[in-house]
Amino acid sequence: MNRGVVRSPLLHSEDWWAVWIGFAVLIAAAFGLVRQVPKLQKWTTSPLDAFQHGASFSPDQSMIVPVVLTGVVLVLLFALAIRFLGDRPLRFMAGFGIVFVLAVVSYLLSRQVQVRAYGLEYAVWALAFGLLISNTVGVPEWLKAGARSELYIKTGLVLLGAEILFTHILDIGGPGLFVAWFVTPIVILVMFNVGTRLLKIPSKALIITIAAATSVCGVSAAIATAAAAKAKKEELTLAVGLSLIFTVLMMIFMPWGIRAMGMDVHVGAAWIGGTIDSTGAVVASGAFLGPEAEKIAAVVKMIQNVLIGVVAFLVAVYWCAKVEREGDDKECKTRPSLKEIWIRFPKFIVGFVVASVVFSFVLMPLMGSEAVEIGILKHVSVPLRGWLFCMAFVSIGLESNFREMAAQMSGGKPFILYVVGQSFNVLLTLLAAWLAFGGILFDRLVL
């Protein structure tokens, strides 16, 4: 740098700032300094009902002030990061205001009871608002300054790491682990090979993002993997769009198919849990088959959710060690050193893994399950991550344009990849569900 001043990456990289902000929130929650982040409630006819008190806010307290306060705290935290990253904090704050308002509106629309029942998540509305603005009137520079999708995603992912509680999942054991962990890696590898070798899709980042969304857990896996593989925003939008459409279709038709075929409910539930992308749709489909099916489907999905951390970590390592070196023939022929991998490695993944390990193996035994899962995660980390991802999707919409997205479609190949991968996933998961929950490899469960 100028005059020999060395800028520490710990203070001047977006990845590290995502880690610091994420950790600051988690530490504040663990010490009881932050007890609640507002979450909008469901509403039927009046959107104002969404701002009624949440479970642990006082009953007569409107959530409008807490929501505004959340925005204020976030803008101050991120403005600090922006200052260190060398951009203009005031311009960021102006853009952030609009992004946050659009995020609130998106969240609000997704909380309407009938929209909730269709499974149309806030990502749908947030992307729609962003895309609408960017593809009609365009995005002014000051608004672009607030659309920091990667910073919001990375910070949200550090918080997501805390939600991946390995000990909790491993306790459940046996059949669920078999369905979720046997199928998922196979589907990812098959889809990656189909995408690169058969369909010859030029972007490996797009392929892995679609593969993770299909085989792990839809939108959240797409976000984590896209960030790890440094995918373009249009690629993430495409993967999320495919996942959202097929999630709704599968939520509606899979339980109907299971009933029509007269399939064993436990096998059908595990099949649903292993194939439908998002947890909400899995719970809805399972519930349609009955309470036992709801539980089994939800647990299989929960176990599969945990793989998001492993997949994001491995993708980040593979990208640093191989994919990013492919452009350079000389580099490609040599083995990368650990130092080189570390330099290229997305550092927010470190925060993601550390958060998961600390929460699973330190805080859970130390503080107990209820304090961690309710006090920190349910009341603080989960709703805050929701706001961050919602702002990220608004920003992604604002940064994407239809022409670029159409170019990514390259003759419908991503669509073909999703359909082929999901079909393979459906067949393989059915086999695994039958082996694990049909009384073949494990005793039948009596719930």
Partner 1 sequence: MRPRKLLRVLRLTAGSLLLALFFIVLSFGPLPSGTAGKVVRNNLDEGIDATPFFYTEADGVASAGDELKEALQRNR
Binding positions for partner 1, rule: CB under 8 A: 42, 109-110, 112-123, 125, 128-129, 132-133, 135-138, 160, 163, 168-169, 171-174, 176, 217-220, 251-253, 255-256, 278-281, 283-285, 287-288, 294-296, 298-299, 301-302, 305, 373, 377-378, 382, 386, 389, 443, 445-447
- The residue (of 57 and 118) whose beta carbon lies closer to partner 1 is 118
- The residue (of 17 and 264) whose beta carbon lies closer to partner 1 is 264
- The residue (of 13 and 215) whose beta carbon lies closer to partner 1 is 215
**Shortest approach of partner 1 to residue 321 CB, angstroms?**
28
Nearest to 416 by CA among 152, 214, 151, 139: 214
Q: Which two tokens stand for residue 186?
A: 């196979």
Residue 124 CA: distances (Å) to CA of 89, 101, 178, 241, 293: 29, 16, 32, 8, 28
The phi, psi pair for 389, rounded to 5°, reads -65, -35
Decide: 444 and 264 in contact? Cβ < 8 Å: no
CA dihedral in degrees (241, 245, 251, 252; nearest 10)?
A: 170
- The residue (of 2 and 46) whose beta carbon lies closer to partner 1 is 46
Nearest to 401 by CA among 95, 203, 144: 144
CA dihedral in degrees (284, 287, 292, 298; nearest 10)?
A: 10
Buried b (16+ CB within 10 A) or exposed e, 79-118: bebbebbeeebebbbebbebbbebbbbbbbbbbbeebeee
Nearest to 300 by CA among 330, 276, 327: 276
Please tell me what DSSP assigns to residue 7. Answer: P
- The residue (of 283 and 320) whose beta carbon lies closer to partner 1 is 283
**Shortest approach of partner 1 to residue 219 CB, angstroms?**
5
**Shortest approach of partner 1 to residue 216 CB, angstroms?**
11
**Shortest approach of partner 1 to residue 122 CB, angstroms?**
7
- The residue (of 85 and 244) whose beta carbon lies closer to partner 1 is 244
**Shortest approach of partner 1 to residue 107 CB, angstroms?**
10
**Shortest approach of partner 1 to residue 257 CB, angstroms?**
9
194: helix, strand or coil: helix
**Shortest approach of partner 1 to residue 176 CB, angstroms?**
7
- The residue (of 66 and 130) whose beta carbon lies closer to partner 1 is 130
Decide: 447 and 276 in contact? Cβ < 8 Å: no
- The residue (of 18 and 270) whose beta carbon lies closer to partner 1 is 270
Please tell me what DSSP assigns to residue 294. Answer: H
**Shortest approach of partner 1 to residue 205 CB, angstroms?**
20
**Shortest approach of partner 1 to residue 385 CB, angstroms?**
8
Nearest to 304 by CA among 174, 436, 176: 176
Contacts for 201 with CB less than 8 Å, ≥ 6 apart: 195, 207, 410, 413, 414, 417
Alpha carbons within 13 angstroms on the beta-carbon side of residue 21 total: 28
- The residue (of 151 and 217) whose beta carbon lies closer to partner 1 is 217
- The residue (of 367 and 382) whose beta carbon lies closer to partner 1 is 382
Q: Other C-beta atoms within 10 Å of 279: how many? A: 18
